[in-house]
Amino acid sequence: MVSDLKQQVLIQRASSTGEMKRVLNSFHGTNIGFVPTMGYLHEGHMSLVEESLRTCDHTVVSIFVNPIQFGPNEDLDVYPYDLEGDIEKLESAGVDLLFQPHREIIYPEGFKTYVQVDEITDHLCGKSRPGLFKGVATVVLKLFNIVRPQHVFFGEKDWQQLAVIETLVRDLNLDIFVHRVPLVREPDGLAMSSRNRNLTSKERQKALSLSRSLEDAKEKISQGTTAASQLKQSIKDRITAESGMQIDYISICDPISLQEIEEVKGRTLIALAVKIGSSRLIDNCIVED
């Protein structure tokens, strides 16, 4: 009964900072949870939304495909988009407010201020996508300033992004609690991503080698292999057994500093990025020694 009533409540929508202020004023004195997204929402995003709904009084979601985090030859122009579907999902989940800013609201004419998080951005995706995390940190700080949340929710699928946001929040004394939400997989193991939608059915099948190579590596570690070079080689062999796979990186590293390690000892992050056709997919797992 309660959930039936909830489904009838239309989500509030705002696209300017003025509209945001008006709606946020009506939330005054309550805990605001915030989930920033680039849209084309899947179960991974919805797990962030559910966590916010569970822990906060009001939940705000933003949809903004942030142009400055894409490089010149990346997939900004083909980034999937389904606003109606997204609104339907957010409405039936019971989200209070959708912020969908116009580009000029976030990047007005003459925009000159950027946020740069050092060191942890030198590894993994930061290495092959220069400018990615400067773009992410800049837009996320702007969104935090507009939404003014007490709680924010990010998925562990983008492990390095989460590390960047946590560092940003700590270094700039933002009074915000960052919630880490586990990666969500399809039933066959593929990590959920909006970019999966651009895979052909053949590519999608090949993409399973990412999660499977991570499972193999975990298995090898549990059987006593600790040399990172050996583990990386077996991940590489598993992935390149499929044709047309272009490995960007396979990293075995410290989960906090993201520095490469040579031997798996204690908590370790295995992360990878692979280009399949025109899609670049990432996946990761944590292994405990």
Q: Which residues are part of the catalytic machinery?
A: 45
DSSP bridge partners of 32? 58
Minimum CB–partner distance for residue 113 and ligand PAF (Å) = 16
Q: Which stretch binds ligand PAF (CB under 6 A): 120-128, 132-140, 207-215, 267-275?
A: 132-140
**Residue nearer to ligand PAF on the CB measure, 64 or 220:** 64
**Residue nearer to ligand PAF on the CB measure, 161 or 279:** 161
11 binds ligand PAF (CB under 6 A): no
**Residue nearer to ligand PAF on the CB measure, 37 or 279:** 37
136 binds ligand PAF (CB under 6 A): yes
Distance (Å, whole) CA 192 – CA 44: 6
Is the alpha carbon torsion for 126, 128, 130, 131 positive or negative?
Answer: negative
140 binds ligand PAF (CB under 6 A): yes
183 binds ligand PAF (CB under 6 A): no
Number of residues that bind ligand PAF (CB under 6 A): 10
**Residue nearer to ligand PAF on the CB measure, 158 or 203:** 158
| Cβ pair 156, 181 in contact under 8 A | yes
Distance (Å, whole) CA 115 – CA 175: 17
CA distances from 75 to 94, 132, 137, 234 (A): 31, 13, 19, 29
284 binds ligand PAF (CB under 6 A): no
253 binds ligand PAF (CB under 6 A): no
**Residue nearer to ligand PAF on the CB measure, 37 or 213:** 37
Q: What is the 3-state secondary structure (H, E, C) of 175-209?
A: CCEEEEECCCECCCCCECCHHHHHCCHHHHHHHHH
52 binds ligand PAF (CB under 6 A): no
For residue 284, the surrounding DSSP H or E stretch is strand 279-287
| Cβ pair 253, 261 in contact under 8 A | yes
Of 33, 36, 101, 149, the one binding ligand PAF (CB under 6 A) is 36
Minimum CB–partner distance for residue 67 and ligand PAF (Å) = 10
* Tokens 């797990």 found at: 47
33 binds ligand PAF (CB under 6 A): no
**Residue nearer to ligand PAF on the CB measure, 192 or 252:** 192
In the three-class reduction of DSSP (H, G, I as helix; E, B as strand; rest coil), residue 264 is classed as coil
49 binds ligand PAF (CB under 6 A): no
Of 24, 34, 37, 181, the one binding ligand PAF (CB under 6 A) is 37
Region for residue 220 given its phi and psi (left: phi exceeds 0; alpha: psi -120 to 50; beta: otherwise): alpha
158 binds ligand PAF (CB under 6 A): yes
Cα atoms in the Cβ-side hemisphere of radius 13 Å centred on 234 = 18
Binding site for ligand PAF (CB under 6 A): 36-38, 66, 69, 136, 139-140, 158, 161
